[in-house]
Structure 1
Amino acid sequence: MNINDAYLWLKSIDGITNNNINQIESNNIDIKDLINFSDKEIYNLKNINTNIKENIVKYKSLTYLEEIKSSLEKEFIKYVSIHDESYPSNLKNIYDAPKILFYKGNLDVLKNNINLAMVGSRKCTQYGINCAKNISKSLSDMGINIISGLAIGIDTYSHIGCLEGKGKTVAVIGSSLDNILPKRNIKLAQKILDDGGLILSEYNIGSTVYPSNYVHRNRILSGISDGVIVVEAAKKSGALITVDYALDQGKNVFSVPGNINSCMSEGCHKIIKEGATLIHSVEDILNEYQINRDNYIENSKKCDNIKLDEKSIEILELIKDNGILNIDEICDNTKMEIKYVNTILNELVLKDLLIEMNNQVYSLNI
């Protein structure tokens, strides 16, 4: 048995975690030989829970291993261990790196490219949706890959934005690859694969899905990335767990500011205060990685290829200078009637130049 199969066998046994495998290896044994140990030798292993030992004994069979391999093949799922050259290099050196990863798609997309994770709230606002899609697409058009968790909300729109660009998107999920969750994103997962992207999991087929899976998943999400972008997050958002992992792993952290009156921006503002790089435009990210956007013309200025009248430009410049404004403030500053301003604002939103937030509050669509 090779090391890949040893890890595959152990990760197929109910209840065995990555930490359990670390504990088994701490016994200074060759884990490739574990399947040939006697029951007594297994029960004599130190630092291992009795229930785990019982399960190892119960499934100590090469036949069981072959059944698992057959099941993976039927689902077109591949696996790679931490000892393989094809294992994501960024991930190898993090704390508690997964011993084995299961995947569908092209594992090579993580090589020789900048990979940025994008995370945020499941209960996102229209502002967050637009930011996620537009930032993701702009980065993707530069050939940057976007990593996210396939969850509802910001994750979903991060993947969608990347699919519209030139880069590839990678989904790191908290369930097994034969059980894509959430179910409503199964079609999105297939689009990721059809586009040449990648879906990763540390959970073998048939694994039980625990809430803690999604917390542990976040270390992989940040681990395979060169930096983490938080688009929209409440004060206690799960997205901030990914930020904690990123900081522990020495990764760059970026954050999109939001409406100071929105609870969905509290987490973003918190990490900006703590040192995260504020994203005013995509250039703030590109500059961090010394990427020259001069070579990229197609999307550099949205307004360049859109004909606007003087009043529309005046309103755009006003919002640009102030960050966000409600319709009454725009009327006061421009001295235009509200009906006229409302018409212009609607046109600018339709042209994807402005985002309408709550209560007729507007911001630029970065």
Structure 2
Amino acid sequence: MEERWILLGLYEMEGIGKKSISKLIEGGHLLQEMFLYDEGDWIAAGMRRDQAARLAKCFDVNWVESRRQHVYDRGIEVITYLDSNYPILMKETPQPPWIMYARGDIQLLHQPSIAMVGTRMPTVYGRKVAEKLAEQLSQAGLTVVSGLARGIDRVCHESVLRANGKTIAVFGTGIDCCVYPPENRGLAEQIAEKGLLLSEYPLGTKARQGLFPERNRIIAGLTLGTLVVEADVRSGSLITADAALEAGRDVFAVPGPITSPKSRGAHNLIRQGAKMVTCADDLLEEYRLDLQNVEQLPYNRERSPEKLDLAERSWFPKVERTADENRVIVLLEQEELTVDQLIDRLGWDFGHLHSVLLSLIIKKQIRQLPGTKYARV
């Protein structure tokens, strides 16, 4: 049996989550051998007793075949981390999904794309801006990726479809029958026919707290950058922007009226170094050369961006740094440092340091490591 299907069967086993699978794979356990494991073997592999008991009882060839047939019967395509057609940019993120379920044109996963996100309750201004930018970006050759939520997400998907462009909707539920919000069910069907529906959650997964913020990392991870159209300071869109930064991607933001609370989150991003977008060309100029030569996009490179010389990373914009940013760069070029170590060496307060670090992350000059450490890119 193919390993990709064994991985699917393991992924869909009740009580076995992404972290459990990571523990098994990183522990050197071979998928083909897992059919032979008894309860003791599963415990030795790091599973809890309840997980081990369930796996020993249910995880076999018949279970895996039943899960494969389940998705096949519903016309769903499965993309696993082991597949050659797994999106390269997604694989390079800190938490790539082990499994993704898809309906529609999966080739869009390998085309240049941009994420567009924003508030679920946009102003008239926000709607008009989102509609116009989505149309222009799609006509320029970018696939627009969003989350099928109310508000800005929906406006962007609809605008792209009207312009005969391509769009991807990333679900925070299963993609078979659990469209959320329900009023977007018709829009989801249109996207399935002309674009792509995508989710990391097994079929039948219903909406619940925590799933939507988690899926935002996929919206950001699939794309060259994330454009925040309209967002308050507590908007979920800022989670997508944070995920983009964590993945080393560009962050853009649309300015709005200074009297509008709906623009405060976007204004904060701009203040911290995100590129301001007032028209499609503000964003397109960062990628225009690569869009004219799709073979040179990071989607189609054999090497990952992190392994490339900075001079080769032509899809990243050139940036200027402040004096304080240069002081941080000098320290991080020598070694990886924690926040506390940086405060000790620089003599700054936490607020100022955090602002400088965030700006450098946005400019792709440094990256955050586990344990609040920072390193030079």
TM-score range, shorter chain: 0.7 to 0.9
What residue number does 1:169 align with?
167
Is 2-11 or 149-158 further displaced after alignment? 2-11
Is the contact between residue 127 and residue 155 of structure 2 (CA under 8 Å) also seen in structure 1?
yes
Is the contact between residue 118 and residue 148 of structure 1 (CA under 8 Å) also seen in structure 2?
yes
Q: Which structure 2 residues correspond to residues 52-201 of structure 1 after superposition, within 5 A? A: 52-111=51-110, 113-178=111-176, 179-195=178-194, 197-201=195-199
Q: Secondary structure at the match of 1:140?
A: helix
Q: 1:219 aligns with which of 217, 220, 230?
A: 217
Distance across 1 between alignment mates of 2:271 and 2:206: 38
Distance 1:55 1:125, change over 3 A: farther
Distance across 1 between alignment mates of 2:124 and 2:18: 38
Give, in angstroms, the shift of residue 66 of structure 1: 1.9
Give, in angstroms, the shift of residue 28 of structure 1: 1.7
Q: Secondary structure at the match of 1:288?
A: coil
Q: 1:284 aligns with which of 282, 287, 299?
A: 282
Give a deviation string over 1:159-213, Cα, whole Å, max 9, x none.
Answer: 1111122431001111111222221111101111222x11111111133543211
The one-letter code matched in structure 1 to 2:286 is: E
Q: Secondary structure at the match of 1:13?
A: coil
Which runs of no fewer than 5 residues in structure 2 stay unpaired? Answer: 292-377
Task: Confirm or deny that 1:19 pairs with 2:19.
Answer: yes
Give a deviation string over 1:209-256, Cα, whole Å, max 9, x none.
Answer: 432111211111111101100001010111101101101111111101
Is the contact between residue 10 and residue 59 of structure 2 (CA under 8 Å) also seen in structure 1?
no
Structure with greater Cα Rg: 1
Sequence identity, in percent? 32
Is the contact between residue 40 and residue 52 of structure 2 (CA under 8 Å) also seen in structure 1?
no
Give, in angstroms, the shift of residue 18 of structure 1: 1.7
Is 220-229 or 74-83 further displaced after alignment? 74-83
Distance across 2 between alignment mates of 1:14 and 1:267: 38
Q: Secondary structure at the match of 1:204?
A: coil
Q: Secondary structure at the match of 1:84?
A: coil
Give a deviation string over 1:90-142, Cα, whole Å, max 9, x none.
Answer: 1111111111111111111222x320000011111111111111100011111
What residue number does 1:255 align with?
253
Q: Secondary structure at the match of 2:288?
A: coil
What residue number does 2:203 align with?
205
Give, in angstroms, the shift of residue 292 of structure 1: 10
Distance across 2 between alignment mates of 1:126 and 1:219: 28
Distance across 2 between alignment mates of 1:167 and 1:85: 26
| Backbone CA RMSD of aligned residues | 1.9
The one-letter code matched in structure 1 to 2:257 is: N
Distance across 1 between alignment mates of 2:66 and 2:45: 26
Distance across 2 between alignment mates of 1:73 and 1:257: 45
The one-letter code matched in structure 2 to 1:122 is: R
Give, in angstroms, the shift of residue 44 of structure 1: 2.1
Is the contact between residue 117 and residue 153 of structure 2 (CA under 8 Å) also seen in structure 1?
yes
Q: Secondary structure at the match of 2:268?
A: helix
Give a deviation string over 1:50-75, Cα, whole Å, max 9, x none.
Answer: 33333323421322222222221221
Report the number of matched residues.
291
Give, in angstroms, the shift of residue 291 of structure 1: 5.4
Give, in angstroms, the shift of residue 2 of structure 1: 2.1
Is 28-37 or 87-96 further displaced after alignment? 28-37
What residue number does 1:232 align with?
230
Q: Secondary structure at the match of 2:55?
A: helix
- Calculate the TM-score normalised by the size of structure 1: 0.76
Q: Secondary structure at the match of 2:233?
A: coil
Distance across 1 between alignment mates of 2:206 and 2:55: 17
Distance 1:118 1:261, change over 3 A: same
Is the contact between residue 117 and residue 229 of structure 1 (CA under 8 Å) also seen in structure 2?
yes
Is the contact between residue 11 and residue 203 of structure 1 (CA under 8 Å) also seen in structure 2?
no
Distance 1:99 1:143, change over 3 A: same
Distance across 2 between alignment mates of 1:90 and 1:155: 22
Is the contact between residue 37 and residue 56 of structure 2 (CA under 8 Å) also seen in structure 1?
no
- Calculate the TM-score normalised by the size of structure 2: 0.74
Give, in angstroms, the shift of residue 85 of structure 1: 1.4
